[in-house]
Every structure is written in C-alpha cells, then in structure tokens.
Chains A and B, each alone.
Chain A
Amino acid sequence: EDQVTQSPEALRLQEGESSSLNCSYTVSGLRGLFWYRQDPGKGPEFLFTLYSAGEEKEKERLKATLTKKESFLHITAPKPEDSATYLCAASKGGATNKLIFGTGTLLAVQP
C-alpha cells in the first residue's frame, strides 16, 4: 500500500537550534517528492520538489534531500517565523497527478 509517514509529529526548537524533519515513503514508481509549508488557517505553500535519489534543494534556511526511501527537510538556524506545519507528499507513477500526503510535522521555534 502506498504510504507517506512523517516524523516527528511535533518539534519544538530554540531559535538557532538546527534540526531535521523526516518523510518516509513507500510509493510505487515515485515521480516526485514534494514539501509544503502550511501556516494556521492557510493553504499549503509549495517549497520544493525532488525527483531522484541524491537530489538536494535549498531555500533560505531550508534544505531538502531525497534517498530511495525517505526525504529530509533540514532547518538550519531556524527563526520564529519558520514555525509552521511542514507537509510531505509523494507523486506516484501513473497517468494522473495524484499526491499522497503525510500528516505533517508541526514545528514551533521559540525565540
């Protein structure tokens, strides 16, 4: 069964304390691994797409990496404004663009 699992469910960091969020996936024929940020009361905001194992992408304090079984979202020296829920989603092979979402990691960065 296709599945995406994110850990931890919640993470509390001090400002400047770097950490990583994990996204494990079992999806047949992965066609893309997506990361989104979701603020309370808002829709998911696109961050990154990774297409193949070994690929890395960076944006400000965030870096996403991909292996054949999991993806990591590394947060370097986070700030309070990085507090949000981070969602991971996998696009599986097939004719259509269907994303399988994880349940997210709620990140709180305290000043």
Chain B
Amino acid sequence: NAGVTQTPKFQVLKTGQSMTLQCAQDMNHNSMYWYRQDPGMGLRLIYYSASEGTTDKGEVPNGYNVSRLNKREFSLRLESAAPSQTSVYFCASSALPGPGNTIYFGEGSWLTVV
C-alpha cells in the first residue's frame, strides 16, 4: 500500500547546488507529475509525463528538468538551485493521462535553498 513514494523528505541546499528528487509509484500508473506548493498559492504543475518515454512542461518548469526512468519512476532535478525554489514538492500519478482521471499524491519533499 505504498502508493507514491518520494525521497528525500527534507533537504537543505545552498544556492547554486544541484539535487534530484526521486519518485516511485507502485500502482502501475501510466502518468506521473511533479507539483510544487507554496504558501498562499495552489499546487502548481512543474512537469508531467503522460506515459513512459514522454515528458512535457507544466505551468512552472523554469529551473527544473525531469526524467521518466521507467514506468514506475519519475525524477525531478534542480541543476542550480535558487532561493525561489524553496518549496514543498509533490510527486503524483494517475492511471491514465486524460483529463478527469484521479491524481494520487505522495507525501512531499520539503526543500530549502539558502
């Protein structure tokens, strides 16, 4: 019953450092997503992968890259972290890519860039 698993849970980075957030789902879902959540703002989509082998930009992709490693895993990379990327990051998945399909979220990764 793991669902969507993210690592690490917490991370502190210095400005300019790079890091990768890892995500895996065990629900055999086709589509995966990365969102960020900031105070006073709704969850915003960074990147998504409709199916294995494809990735597309969401609403706020600048400063991020993603890799769909296989059907289970979808990673988010910050190449040169900036304080504006301090946020809570959520990985999510859905069975199918089409609109209206339920999206299930992981527990979140808290990232602070100093």
Contacts and interface: CB of A to CB of B under 8 A. Distances in A.
Contacts of B31: 97
A97 B108 contact: no
A97 B100 contact: yes
Interface string B61-96: 000000000000000000000000000001000101
B102 interface: yes
A31 B90 contact: no
Interface in A53-91: 87, 89, 91
B56 interface: yes
A103 B48 CA distance: 21
Interface residues of B, number: 28
B58 A89 contact: no
Contacts of A92: 99
B51 to A, nearest CB: 11
A5 B4 CA distance: 27
Interface hub of A34, A45, A91 (most chain B Cβ within 10 A)? A91
B42 interface: yes
Given A42-B108, A91-B100, A96 B50 contact: yes
A93 B94 CA distance: 16
B99 A98 contact: yes
B43 A87 contact: yes
A93 to B, nearest CB: 6
B42 A97 contact: no
Contact of A46 (B48, B98, B104, B107): B104
A93 B99 contact: yes
Contacts of B96: 97
B11 interface: no
Contacts of B108: 41-43
Interface in A7-63: 31-32, 34, 36, 41-46, 49, 51
B48 A99 contact: no
Contacts of A99: 43, 45, 103
8 contacts: A4-B42, A34-B103, A43-B4, A44-B105, A91-B99, A91-B101, A98-B59, A99-B45
